[in-house]
Structure 1
Amino acid sequence: MNPFAYLFQDRKANRGNIKGQLVLFMFRLVQLINRSMVAKVILFPYLMFYRFFVEWSLGIELPRKLTAGKGLIIYHGQALVVNQGVVLGENCVLRNSVTIGHKKLADGNFSGCPRIGNNVDIGANVCIIGDVTIGDNVIIGAGAVVVKNIPANSVAVGNPARIIEQKTTITETIITTGA
């Protein structure tokens, strides 16, 4: 992917959301800069500006080492914290006050970070912590606390999060019923 297309890969998904477009453009630029030590040295002032403006002023922590697929959407980006070890799939939606990261274990070490699939919609005030995997096409309701894996095509809500609905695709239905 050419650098220009890389910088604007989230623009279409955030249509009408100027703040989301700006933050994600700046985030993708920081990721490009992070690929080269020379770029990091030359563009160090921009890295500091990104940290001050996006993280401190806007309250959105998207570290430059974060792995995020294309089409990332940020709605009402305030108090959004994502650990740099998290892996976000394509077309994920993050809302305000979401926290995604590792947790401290009893032995003093830290767990792994969450891996989030494609087309995942994360509601406001959701906390996803620990070494968990969220499947594709999952909806996590507002205020949920996710500490266990969530399979694909599910809807999860509550504290702790529990699956209230699991959708099956037509092909899965045909295979299981023999139709």
Structure 2
Amino acid sequence: MNVFEEMRQGKAYDIRNKDYQEQVHGELDRCGCLCQQINLTDIRDKEEIRRKEKELLGGRLEEGTYLTPPLQIDCGCRVSLGRNVFANHNLTIMSLGTVTIEDGVMLGPEVGIFTVNHEPKNIRTVMTKEIRIKKNAWIGARVSILPGVTIGENAIIGTGSIVTKDIPDNCVALGNPARVIKKI
């Protein structure tokens, strides 16, 4: 089992660990380079941007899915995007712990998805928890989604919210921390 899978299973890693540095830092470097290339490509060259995004995501970029540069995805090998996903500009995904975004999800500008956290007593130790955004969810501008969260089908997350716990299907949530304000 590799570092990515061990972390997905709940193992914490010291960032100075040799296996962590070889596997994770290698992926961070690969993705950082590709994100930089995507962000510097002429926005009118959609074909080249799509080719680089597909490479970033390990060849997996579904039909109808569109990511608007600039963007930053640190571990593309740990991101799964469904069909017809739309992400507006300045998307940040820290995906060491795995991110799954299902079909039809809409992400507003400057959304942050963060699967990684540090051990408070030893900040050189990192832990991850998977994030899942289910079908047709709508995530407003500048929303931050924290480790371990699942956002339900058709859920709407209001602009500027910080999502710290699961949001059920067919609910509107907002605030810091985000809380459900109504069912759809």
TM-score normalized with structure 2 length: 0.59
Distance in 1 (alpha carbons) for counterparts of 2:94 and 2:145: 11
Identity of aligned residues (%): 30
What RMSD, in angstroms, separates the aligned Cα atoms of the two structures? 2.9
**Superposed structure 1 runs of 4+ greater than 6 Å apart:** none
Unaligned runs of 5+ in 2: 1-42, 61-66
Larger radius of gyration: 1
Superposed CA deviations along residues 122-145 of structure 1, whole A, max 9, x for unmatched, are 000000011111110000000000
TM-score normalized with structure 1 length: 0.61
Question: What SS does structure 1 have at the residue aligned with 2:126?
Answer: coil
Deviation (angstroms), 1:64: 3.1
Question: What SS does structure 2 have at the residue aligned with 1:115?
Answer: strand
Distance in 2 (alpha carbons) for counterparts of 1:80 and 1:130: 16
CA contact (8 A) 1:104 1:111 kept: yes
- Report which structure shows greater RCO (CA 8 Å, sep ≥6): 2
Distance in 2 (alpha carbons) for counterparts of 1:91 and 1:21: 24
1:28-177 mapped onto 2 (5 Å cutoff): 29-30=54-55, 34=59, 58-62=69-73, 63-65=75-77, 66-75=79-88, 77=89, 79-84=90-95, 85-106=98-119, 108-167=125-184
Q: Which amino acid aligns with 1:126?
A: V
CA contact (8 A) 2:94 2:116 kept: no
Tell me: CA distance 1:144–1:20, structure 2 relative to 1, closer, same or farther (3 Å): farther
Distance in 1 (alpha carbons) for counterparts of 2:178 and 2:44: 27
Unaligned runs of 5+ in 1: 1-18, 36-53, 168-179
Deviation (angstroms), 1:97: 1.0
Question: What SS does structure 2 have at the residue aligned with 1:162?
Answer: strand
Deviation (angstroms), 1:27: 5.5
Superposed CA deviations along residues 59-82 of structure 1, whole A, max 9, x for unmatched, are 30245321010101123x1x2101
Tell me: CA distance 1:74–1:152, structure 2 relative to 1, closer, same or farther (3 Å): same
Answer 1 or 2: which has greater strand percent: 2
Match of 1:22 in 2: 46
